[in-house]
Amino acid sequence: MSAVTAVIRGLGGALPERVVSNHDLSTRMDTSDEWIRRRTGISERRHSNDTESTSVLATTAAKRALASAGVASAGLLIVATSTPDKICPATAPKVAANLGLYGIAAYDIAAVCSGFIYALATASWAISSGSVDSALVIGADTFTRLLNPRDRTTSVIFGDGAGAAYLSAGTSGEPGAVLASTLHSDGTAETLIQVPRSAGAFFEMQGKEVFTQAVSAMSDSVETVLARVGWTADEVDSLIAHQANLRILSTVASVTGIPGSKAEIHLDRVGNTSAASIPLAMTNAGTKGHRIPGDKVVLTAFGGGTTWGAIAMTWPSISVVDPH
């Protein structure tokens, strides 16, 4: 009997209505469209309003992932978020209730920009262990609410959104199989990306140091999962890395030997959406027809904690709705 493997069978994304262009930001702070494009690759991002909370965006993305898979429920629901609706309770039970899923296991994972990788890996462990037969994994964040409107280094990068994947038990030969994962953390670097614990505190990031650590951590994890599945860098059809900065994506590709043309780019339209970044980039790849079922795909992320990791998977056989 072959081992049970988690297989992605549906993807969905959700974005707030309001588009904020680089030009819009340049009317509020000392920056320019030219600087932002050249140093980050971002052209626009979305900002949520009061009715577009993390749980609202997460629910829409999850509904679309369920529809993409042609199913109505899941045995486990994980919301990867560091911007929950409330500090207590978690956002996941509310999202499950919004979907009409009562009684299922539902919890949050707070690994900032690595949240989706953490949630996807742990959901795949739950499925392959036989504990559950299906799972909804949602990455959703609304960091723009926590940005200092005068901080040009964070305001130009972040945007809001949600992305979701539906997985169920299958075999490693099926398109969409989650084949290997690696997760890591280093709490000694917790102040690199943080919202300090004081009233009215804003999100803070040491951009340059984050840049350097992100490149080396993501490159190492990509190499780890490639070794585990026995793929060479040349064989990889798509590198779907956390969308924080175009220069980080190209550097990770060049360090790992994956051709730069294989890096999926979605940040130009949404910026850094934290835990939503990878599932939104996957959804975008699905709607644009960038991938064919069975393609060899590597996901990787780095985020606050610090946390990082990577996943090797094959591209699923699915149809996806465009969230833009």
Residues with catalytic roles:
113, 242, 272
Paired tokens of 162: 């949600």
Contact 40, 200 (CB under 8 A): no
> C-beta of 25: minimal distance to ligand COA in Å?
8
> Sign (positive/negative) of CA torsion 207, 209, 212, 214?
negative
Choose, by CB under 6 A, the member of 43, 128, 153, 185 that binds ligand COA.
Answer: 153
In whole angstroms, the minimum distance from the beta carbon of 283 to ligand COA comes to: 20
CB of 108 to ligand COA, least distance (A): 18
Scan residues 290-309 and list those touching ligand COA (CB under 6 A): 302-303
For ligand COA, the binding residue among 37, 145, 152, 290 (CB under 6 A) is: 152
How many Å apart are CA 195 and CA 200, to the nearest integer? 10
Of residues 173 through 212, those in contact with ligand COA by CB under 6 A are 193, 205, 207-208, 210-211
Element (H, E) at 160: none
Nearest residue to 208 via CA among 184, 241, 244, 180: 244
Least distance to ligand COA, CB of residue 241, Å:
10
Asked if 113 touches ligand COA (CB under 6 A), the answer is yes
From CA 179, how far away is CA 121, in angstroms rounded? 10
The shares of helix, strand and coil residues in the chain, as percent rounded to the nearest 5, are: 40, 25, 35
Size (the chain), residues: 324
Q: How far separated are the first and last CA of the chain, in Å rounded? A: 43
Site string for ligand COA, 245-284 (x = CB under 6 A): x--x-----------------------x------------
What residues line the site for ligand COA (CB under 6 A)?
31, 35, 39-40, 112-113, 152-153, 156-157, 193, 205, 207-208, 210-211, 214, 244-245, 248, 272, 302-303
